[in-house]
Structure 1
Amino acid sequence: MRLFAPFSNFFRDNYPSAERLGVPVARWRASLYRTVFETNTQVGKAFERYLTLAIVLSLGVVIAHSVPAISAGWRGSALRGLEWVFTLAFTVEYLLRLVSVRKPWRYALSFYGIVDLLAIIPAYLAIFFPDAQYLAAVRALRLVRTFHIFPALRGFLDEYLMLGRALQASVRKIFVFLSVVAVLVFVMGTLMFVIEGPENGFTSVPTGIYWAISTVTTVGYGDLTPATSVGRFFASVMMLLGWGVLAVPTGIVGAEISRSAGTRARLKGVDCRMCGEDRHEGDARFCRRCGTRLLPLAAPAARPPAAPAQQPAGMHQPAAEVE
């Protein structure tokens, strides 16, 4: 859908690759860049592993702080102290990423840069709005970027990317489907308002639409129920339609996933040496994500020609070869 094209192009064009960010010339900044950005070195891998551990622990602290039995008394103070330790560590990490590149604004405006910034803002907002500290759960988005450093999780990252591509390819169809559902719930909600009326709880058209949405999605909170025979008939129709409503988007996305899985075999098995992208067409010469030239696969070693079979002694040659 063209409405979402600028957002997808923005995230793709602002991917924090070495070409876009610029590797600094200064030795200490270049060493810092290899540590915080590159994961193909031992130092970079160790940094990403410790960063992943810190993210997981900070999420655990946020969860524990929301439990009254755990956050009461001195334990609450300890959890708040740990939360500030993680926040300061992530703040330093974010600043190091900005310092270690020649074009820091490109990183700050990239998708990963925005996620890194959103991971530290809630703690500072909690100074003025205490409940804002729970918004630090956005740090979970950072875990997706660190999947590729663990061999056991690389397959999960590929599946995440496949699901994302399937959803992107299904946006237009899902939008059409949701527009049909919106018209359906509007009509049915209005009819229920006319049929049931305020005396049965349907005090307005928006209330009827709310009932129609909760019914067609098979949620059924039970706070609004039809009391007349005609209203119950339409409610039964809405319940039956709900089964079909749930099946349609599942089939749309499932078809796109099957199509994506079917084309995997036709993709070139070349990994980009800069960003690690491995989904390239068979005739691709440059990376589809960062534009780096792809190195061709090593040609398989040629098999030596087989030696001609020797004929056993005493075996007669064909008549055409006999002089």
Structure 2
Amino acid sequence: MPAVAAPSAASVNAPTVNLTWTDTATTEIGFTIQRATDPNFTTGVRWANVTNPVATQPSTVSWVDRNVARNALYWYRVWAIGPEVGDIATPGFPTMSADSVSDPLFVQVGTPTTVPAPTNLSALWELGLSPRLTWTDNAINETGFVVERCSGLDCGNTATNFAALPGGAPAFTGGNGTGTVVYTDSTATTGFVYSYRVMAVNTTTGAQSIYSNTAPNVIDPALTSVPAAPTSVTVGPVGGPVVMNWTHAGGANLIDFTIQYASNATFTRGVGSVTAPAGSGAQSAAVPVTTLYYRIRANGPGGSSARTNASPFPLR
């Protein structure tokens, strides 16, 4: 069955809402109108059945909802109901009908004192960037959003841990229209774990929504990533003083370097080590001269890189 065109609110005059839609089906026997107080049609759901005054012909259909509250928000959608098919004359024989549904329509009646809450909050923290939050804005009467966060693993399990982002509320202005909102938390500190939640606010009326779902344990990837191994590693000269040279890109996931030396290639005899500070680009460090074999690794909060043998290996 062809889909029903999305309804439009021909007029909103509390306490009534006049819906009008285009019927593009030719086999429907009527319509079912669904109304809810949230965009997912899970709260305040009510149903109404309508008979098409011009049955089986493409036409414009209207319906008046006379049971609406002042200063409220509603979502509507329309189902075209197909005729029942199958052996309807035989008791117990299975039958079915083909139905179609329109896109939802948002209607604001008067000036609502509440603001629909954001939903589907998620957060992503990529290496070297700030956390990026994404959520669904379900309101058209908000003037902005308050983004709250807490720090620490599983901190979001306790509501009192949350606080608005530095800078005051609302931390993010804009919106006033449903859809997807993207926000970057530029105040995040590297090396932390955060949880986030969001609420929509109207600073003119003082109205605010309940909180969205929590986006938990958004971890700085520098805490879990392993740094790359050093490259272009050389050691010399023979007879000393011996210096190791290497190259590394550096980065937030680098803590320091461990230089290891030994008197055999398997690093089981005469083993020792020195630590070199983190850095990027070409680097060097003095190493003991009473050995033949040298290697180096990079260390980070997520672990250590593979070791790179210094050339020549051994130093002779």
| Higher share in strand | 2
- The structure with the largest helix share of the pair is 1
